[in-house]
Structures are given as structure tokens and as C-alpha cells.
Amino acid sequence: MYCTRKVTDDLIWVGADDRRLPFFEGVYGVPDGVSYNSYLLLDEKTVLFDTVDKAVYGVFLENLAHELNGRPLDYLVIHHMEPDHAATLELVLQRYPEATVICNAKIKTMLAQFFPMDLSNRIQLVKEGDSFSSGRHSFSFVMAPMVHWPEVMMTYDATAKMLFTADAFGTFGALNGRLFADEVDFFSECVDEARRYYTNIVGKYGPQVQAVLKKAAKLDIDYVCPLHGFVWRSHFGDYLEKYMLWSSYVPEEKSVLIAYASVYGHTENAANILAARLCEKGVKVRMYDTSVTPASYIVSDAFRCSHLVFAATTYNAGVFVTMENLLHDIAAHNLQNRKVALIENGSWAATSGKVMGEILSGLKGIEFYDQKISLKSALNVAQMGEIDALANVLADELAPRPVVSASAPAAAVEVKAGDVDKKAFNKLCYGVEVLTTNVDGRDYGCIINTACQVGSGDPKVVTISVIKKNHTCDMVMKAGRFNVSILTEDAPYSLFQRFGFQSGRDVDKFADVSYDDRSANGIRYIPEFTNAVLSCEVVETRELETQMLFIANVVEAKVLSSAPSCTYSYYHAHIKPKKNPAPEQKECWVCKVCGYVFEGAELPADFVCPLCKHGRDDFEHVVPNAKPKQKGYVCNICGHFEPCEGELPADYVCPLCKHGRDDFSPAEQ
């Protein structure tokens, strides 16, 4: 029986889930399954976008026939020839002999390779920028080589403001009835599998992903339709933000990945001790046994974490096999820009450290710590100092600095239920506050500047508004209650950094504070640099364009100090550091709120600052003096640019896609 879902009034998802596939591409375990997405447009002409894997062809063909409801299939657009999407092309083309294939020249070549059927009169070739109309809908085509194969292209539907993105923005995981990303708590439940999908499937091709993101930034996009996983119709900027990090090999978080390979537990013991020392110092650690956890999960976290520690025993005069496989996998996925520490073990001739270093040494931006720890069979007491030293070096770079000075503790103030001190409201001004809440035992907080008293009777009523993309906004929605700590003029900039310039999705903002003051509702408040705290129960919300407005009754209010409230203008004039002009500026966009710098000429229309969550309108475009263009050659397959004044050498091979000189064209950049 058919199983379909509407994306819009005239676009229908006709794909299918596969929950029995043990290994995607024969190598990546998919315990949560995978979806193969295919979309059918019912316009004046009917258009099918891609097909599905052969494992689910039955329900797919039923879906297609049901939704066509007797109409012919006029067009089949092929974005990607990998068989997880293309295996059923032949079946579709046989069933619908009137259908014309729309594809590019490389796809046409691969079609003939996979399916020896005569399609000579049924193919309409398109290239970058070509357009096509199915009636009400107008399409243009965007070439996306190496995302994830060289033939990949995307289609933009200007009528629906919809981009069909092939593998890009896909995830592992079956849809399980949910089609849209906003039908799940994507960044809690699904982002790990999205990261594992991206890093393992497309991670090697960061420059090509960046190239297509630049093209996509010029499009007005309301819907993103990938070939795996969820359709995006809201909050796509949050996901795009992850792609910007992953594809530019920028870590998502300051943390340490420890991966160890241990035969009898001695190397594991050293890794455990290092992890314990790091955690004591407030460093976030993600830890894996390479003999237990499949490499795809560890590769994924290697893209997530800023610092990597590999610990392995020597084996066959090399390195233990599961570590060797992992490191080759990381190298094959082109990970860059990480700091790496190595721990080797060997009972007579330790070689694992040298081999591990060699495997990773060819990667761009990989920096090794001098402290290579070499164990002889087992960690001994004398070497504990070496573990401590490594932990200290890592912690110096990673441990968040405490915001609250232990030398200036605040007087603990107990806010009793029902105490509403009217004087607390006198502290409100156009100022800055810390909004806090608690969900499932975890604390969240962010900076706001919108608390305002709107009712003086009883109960007292306040409003606050919070940027919708802000994680604390979601948490206040869930909790239905919050505290507002009204900040004072002596609040340090580090407090604004802590609560305003990082996301509770990624870090625990209270991880290392020295206080745990809570009002009677169980929610934390900020006891220092705060002159009053209000505890509130949400009674109404109103969704604005970028903000969520909360109307709330004040159930407790307390004055903490007589220090003057910090106004928004005081913060900008006296607390926020002044910008230093960069000595060598690249073209970039600078966030006027927090100073975050986005490097590049184009800032996507829906870009959201990863630090403070403000949108594109709050960015300033900085254009340095134009540099003279550089002559060279561009790879027609993957887009790699090779600077070169004369001729490319006859035996030149593209460092990314390995195609030869014949596939290069002269270009300037």
C-alpha cells in the first residue's frame, strides 16, 4: 500500500524508509535506518525528482502510481547517479516510456554505464544556470560536483523557493513518518546522525561543499529537499551553520576526543587517567575504544572536537589494527585544523606513536603536541606526571575560565516563594539581563535586553522577548517558567561572553561557575553583578518574526544589591571591548553585536551568528583592497583551482578528485 506525504500542495514525497539495511554503502552502520527521498511534482507537467534504492522499489512504485493517479510521468530529473537513488531509474523509465530525463552530461554518461538501455531520444541535457518550466513552476540547475560524486547537480524551484540538494543536508536515520525537520527536536535527537552522515559521506569534499553553499547563498530558499532525511522549511539557518563549520573543518566545540586501542587494558588505563584529569579541570571529553566503536562514529566526533588524543599499543611493529584503520579513515576524510596528542605503548619496541604521527602528518593544519607519552607495557608512577602535564597543556587551552571570582562571593540570597519585593521592579530599565531556566534538570541561560514591567497590579506582569533561534528560547517554551537576573554596571565582559556568545546546544554555560543559587522555582539566578532577580511563570507567548515574546506573571521578586543597573548603552560604551583593526583583513562579514567574523564575500541571506544568534542584518560587510587575480587552472570535475603561470605539467593530477591535466581549464581567481 502506498505511503506518501505532501511537502507542499503540489509536491509529494514518494520515497521510503529502510530500517533493515545493516551497512549504508556496505560500511556505515545505520541502526536507525535511512530514508531514500524521491519527490513528485504535480504541475501542468508531472516531474519526478530522483528515484530510490532497490531495497524499497516496491512501495516507491506504488507511491508513484498512486500520486500520478493515471497521469503520465512527463519528466524525471536526476540529481545523482549513486544507486541508493538511481537503482530504480530503469524500472521507472520502462514503466513510464513517455518520461523525458533531465540531467547533465556526466549523469548521461553514468546512466549508460549503469543501464544499457537506449535513451537517445529521451534525454534533455542541462548545465549550470539552464532553466526549465513545468507550467506554474520554473526551475534552474546548479552543478554541485563532488557533493558527493562528480556528476551531482541540484535544482532550484524559483516558484516554490525550494532547493533540491541531492545528498547535501541529508542525514542517516529513517523518517518514521516525520517528513519535516521541525517535526523532531533535530538538534537534540538527530544532529549526531546528521554529522556522522556528512563527515563520512561528504566530509572529504569541504571545498566543493563550500563552493555550492556560496551559490546557494544567492537563492531565496524556503524549502530544502535532500535525498536522505528531513525536508527543511524553517530554521534552516541553524543547520546551514553546522555545514559551514563541517565543510570548513572548523571544530564545533572546544573539547577533547580520546580514542584508544588497547589489547590488555594498559593503554586504556592511561587514556582513562588522562580523561579523569581533564574532566577535573572542566574540559569536555568524548572517549572511544577503537575496538568497540565503529570508525564512522569516531570520525564524526573528530570533526566535532577541537583537540584529539590517540592512544595505541604497538602491534606487528606498527600500530594496533583498529587504530590504524581509524586514522586512515580520518586521513581519507581530509580532516584539518586540529591539535593532536599521541600516547604510544610497547613492551619492547614501541612504534605506534611514530606510525600514528605518519598517518596524520599529511593533513592540512594538523599540529602535534611535543608531549608524546611513551609507555612501556603499563603506565608507572613516574609517568603520572607526564599524563598530568598533558592534561595541563590541554586544559590551559580548553577549560573555560570562571566568570565568578572566588575572591568576591556574593551574599547568598534566598528567594522565598510568594515574596514579591516591589522595589525589585525599580531596577528594570532598557538594560541587560540574564534569562535562566531549567529543563529536565539541566540549566540554561542567555543574555536578553528586553525585560519590561507591563502591569503594576497583582499579579505583577513582565514581558521578555528572546531570539527564536536561541536555545534558551526553546527551553523557556518547554519549562514555562524563568528567572531574570538584572545585571549591574560592574558586570564583566566575560559574563556576557559566557551567556551571550555560545549556545546551550553545545556547552553547559554553568559548567564551572562557583555558585548554585536558585530561587524557589528551582531555577538558577546569577548572584553576582545582579541587583535584582524576578521569578516568572509564562502565561502567554506570541511568535514575532525573529523573536518569541513571553508574557509572564512574576511570582517572586528580590532585590540583591543597590548597584546601578547596566543599561544597554552602558554595556556598549564601557563593557564591550573596542574593535582593533585587523592588520591584514580578508573580505568578511563582522557581527556588530558580538564581533564574530564570517570570512567570505557572500553572507547567506538566512545566516545566523553562531555566537549570539543575530541575523544577517546585524553584520557589517568588510571589503579589503582587492588583490590582483591569480592565473591558474580549474578542475572541470571538482572545481579545485591550481595556481600556475604557464602550462600544467603533463603528469599533473588533481589533488582532490585525482583527474588529470586534460580535465583542467585555464582560469583566474
Residues within the interface to ligand FEO (CB under 6 A): 80, 82, 84-85, 148, 167, 227-228
Amino acid at 532: A
**Least Å distance between CB 171 and ligand FEO?**
11
**Least Å distance between CB 227 and ligand FEO?**
5
Residues 325/293, Cβ–Cβ less than 8 Å: no
Measured from the CB atom, the residue of 228 and 498 that comes closer to ligand FEO is: 228
Q: Cβ contacts of residue 409 below 8 Å, gap of 6+?
A: 514, 515, 528
**Least Å distance between CB 169 and ligand FEO?**
12
Question: Which of 117, 128, 39, 34 shows the shortest CA–CA distance to 77?
Answer: 39
Measured from the CB atom, the residue of 148 and 460 that comes closer to ligand FEO is: 148
Residues 641/634, Cβ–Cβ less than 8 Å: yes
> What CA–CA distance (Å, rounded) separates 520 from 252?
35
Residue with cell 493515471: 70
**Least Å distance between CB 462 and ligand FEO?**
49
**Least Å distance between CB 304 and ligand FEO?**
22
Which cell numbers hold the place of 426?
A: 525599580
> What CA–CA distance (Å, rounded) separates 208 from 217?
14
Measured from the CB atom, the residue of 187 and 205 that comes closer to ligand FEO is: 205
Measured from the CB atom, the residue of 17 and 167 that comes closer to ligand FEO is: 167
Residues 204/334, Cβ–Cβ less than 8 Å: yes
**Least Å distance between CB 82 and ligand FEO?**
4
Amino acid at 545: E
Which cell numbers hold the place of 210?
A: 563550500
Measured from the CB atom, the residue of 85 and 614 that comes closer to ligand FEO is: 85
Peptide bond into 459 cis (omega under 30): yes
Measured from the CB atom, the residue of 172 and 529 that comes closer to ligand FEO is: 172
Longest dimension (CA), the chain: 84
**Least Å distance between CB 124 and ligand FEO?**
23
| DSSP, res 6 | E
**Least Å distance between CB 204 and ligand FEO?**
12
**Least Å distance between CB 400 and ligand FEO?**
38
**Least Å distance between CB 34 and ligand FEO?**
9
Output the residue with the shortest Cβ distance to ligand FEO. 82
Measured from the CB atom, the residue of 56 and 634 that comes closer to ligand FEO is: 56
> What CA–CA distance (Å, rounded) separates 493 from 614?
18
Residues 186/239, Cβ–Cβ less than 8 Å: yes
**Least Å distance between CB 84 and ligand FEO?**
4
Measured from the CB atom, the residue of 89 and 523 that comes closer to ligand FEO is: 89
Which cell numbers hold the place of 401?
A: 575560565
> What CA–CA distance (Å, rounded) separates 129 from 119?
24
Measured from the CB atom, the residue of 152 and 420 that comes closer to ligand FEO is: 152
Question: Which of 535, 550, 524, 507 shows the shortest CA–CA distance to 439?
Answer: 524
DSSP string, 63-118: HHHHHHTTPPP-EEE----SHHHHTTHHHHHHH-TTPEEEE-HHHHHHHHHH----
> CB neighbours (10 Å) of residue 411?
8
Measured from the CB atom, the residue of 47 and 227 that comes closer to ligand FEO is: 227
**Least Å distance between CB 190 and ligand FEO?**
17
Radius of gyration of the chain (CA): 28
- 3-class SS letters over 10-28: CEEECCEEECCCCEECCCE
Measured from the CB atom, the residue of 92 and 146 that comes closer to ligand FEO is: 146
263 φ, ψ (degrees, to nearest 5): -90, -50
Measured from the CB atom, the residue of 51 and 436 that comes closer to ligand FEO is: 51
**Least Å distance between CB 645 and ligand FEO?**
37
Measured from the CB atom, the residue of 82 and 241 that comes closer to ligand FEO is: 82
Residue with cell 506518501: 4
**Least Å distance between CB 209 and ligand FEO?**
13
**Least Å distance between CB 148 and ligand FEO?**
4
- E-strand ranges in 474-607 read 481-487, 530-543, 547-559, 588-591, 597-599
∠ CA(94), CA(98), CA(104), 5° rounding? 85
Measured from the CB atom, the residue of 24 and 633 that comes closer to ligand FEO is: 24
DSSP string, 372-417: -EEEBSB--GGGHHHHHHHHHHHHHHHSPPPSS-TTSPPPP-PPPT
Residues in the chain, total? 669
Measured from the CB atom, the residue of 86 and 533 that comes closer to ligand FEO is: 86
> What CA–CA distance (Å, rounded) separates 448 from 452?
11
Which cell numbers hold the place of 386?
A: 607526564
